[in-house]
């Protein structure tokens, strides 16, 4: 099965059954996610930070890879929708004692879980679970291998829309470790689908995939040229845990060539914004004066992540509810 299998994610009415990848989703679906998230941004400002949309539903966080920020925002998003949330400590679970992924899946389904949120070091893990889960169970990909991180990409799109309005006409630069970044792959797909005028990737040759140009981007190796006159700069974390061999010079040399400083930021448009999916390696990917400066929207990205994840969870659960109602007629 192709990892971009559109049929696995959408039903015949083009409603979200799962959310596994940006690939194969059209502009209308991505815009619906952004619009739905817009309606959830005010929930966090209420005295009681909850809406009842997923009351009675059970959401299980299956994080086979460590994560704090993503797991926490998914948990908060599900709780603000009034769902019951299970956080599975996979490292201490039966999978470490030899139980297969399918065995774990079947046992959780027997507990009547309605949704799995999956992070896994292997590309395609979320697709595998979606293929084998019961038809009434939704699966959301919270990051798989080098393949995709679609909810991070959508919160980045939400951040850009909030600060820049429309996507058409924008010039966006993605800087850093493109080769190992599932975030970058999902961002590129989303930016091109939403109609951004120019997507640039800026990186040393050793941190670019061999097929980079086929992704629909302009490739730059010179940082200063790559961010000149752009509207948005997305800095990436160095994925040192995924690197094999010496792909980098020293961190000091990397910062001198690809670290974002105030001097370099001045090459972008005067109203450019700076983003980073976190966690930041200060002094390696960017200077603290930039990370904490007036053009940084990094903390807003974290806040928007809750609204985006509420939107996606509610859309998938909404599809389940509609299909149950239709089957009962």
Binding residues for carbamoyl phosphate: 69-70, 119, 149, 152, 278-279
Where is the binding site for L-aspartate, in residues? 97, 182, 237
Q: Decide if 131 contacts 76 (C-beta within 8 A).
A: no
Q: Are strands 115-120 and 58-63 parallel, antiparallel or unpaired?
A: parallel
User: Rounded CA gap, 76 and 49, in Å?
Assistant: 10
**Cα 53–59–60 angle (5° rounding)?**
170
Greatest distance between any 2 Cα atoms in the chain: 65
Q: What is the DSSP letter of 138?
A: E
Three-class secondary structure of residue 175 per DSSP = strand
DSSP output for 52-95: -TTTT-EEEEEESS--SHHHHHHHHHHHHTT-EEEEEEGGGSGG
User: Rounded CA gap, 244 and 318, in Å?
Assistant: 42
User: Rounded CA gap, 319 and 311, in Å?
Assistant: 12
Where is the binding site, in residues? 69-70, 97, 119, 149, 152, 182, 237, 278-279
Q: Are strands 198-202 and 273-275 parallel, antiparallel or unpaired?
A: unpaired
Residues 297-323 as b or e (16 or more Cβ within 10 Å = b): bbebbbebbbbbbbbbbbbbbbbbeeb
Q: Are strands 58-63 and 84-89 parallel, antiparallel or unpaired?
A: parallel
């Amino acid at each position: 099965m192709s990892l971009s299998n559109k049929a696995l994610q959408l039903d015949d009415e083009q409603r979200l059954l799962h959310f596994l990848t940006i690939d194969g989703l059209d502009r209308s679906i991505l815009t619906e996610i952004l619009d739905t998230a817009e309606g959830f941004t005010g929930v966090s400002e209420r005295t009681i930070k909850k809406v009842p949309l997923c009351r009675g539903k059970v959401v299980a966080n299956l994080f086979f890879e460590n994560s704090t920020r993503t797991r926490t925002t998914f948990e908060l998003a599900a709780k603000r929708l009034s769902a019951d949330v299970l956080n599975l400590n996979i490292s201490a679970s039966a999978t470490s004692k030899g139980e297969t992924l399918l065995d774990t899946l079947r046992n959780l389904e027997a507990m009547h879980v309605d949704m799995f949120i999956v992070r896994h070091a292997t590309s395609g893990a979320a697709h595998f679970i979606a293929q084998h889960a019961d038809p009434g169970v939704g699966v959301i990909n919270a990051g798989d291998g080098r393949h995709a991180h679609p909810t991070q990409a959508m919160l980045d799109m939400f951040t850009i829309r909030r600060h820049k309005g429309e996507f058409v006409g924008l010039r966006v630069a993605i800087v850093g470790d493109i080769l190992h970044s599932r975030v970058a792959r999902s961002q590129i797909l989303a930016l091109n689908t939403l109609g951004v005028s120019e997507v640039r990737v800026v990186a040393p040759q050793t941190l670019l995939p061999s097929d980079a140009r086929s992704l629909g981007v302009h490739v730059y190796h010179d940082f200063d040229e790559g961010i000149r006159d752009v509207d948005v700069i997305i800095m990436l974390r160095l994925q040192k845990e995924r690197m094999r061999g010496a792909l980098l010079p020293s961190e000091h040399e990397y910062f001198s060539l690809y670290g974002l400083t105030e001097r370099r930021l001045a090459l972008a448009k005067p109203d450019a914004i700076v983003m980073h999916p976190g966690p930041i390696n200060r002094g390696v990917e960017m200077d603290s004066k930039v990370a904490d400066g007036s053009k940084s929207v990094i903390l807003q990205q974290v806040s928007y992540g809750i609204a985006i994840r509420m939107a996606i969870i509610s859309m998938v659960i909404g599809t389940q509810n509609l299909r149950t109602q239709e089957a009962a007629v």
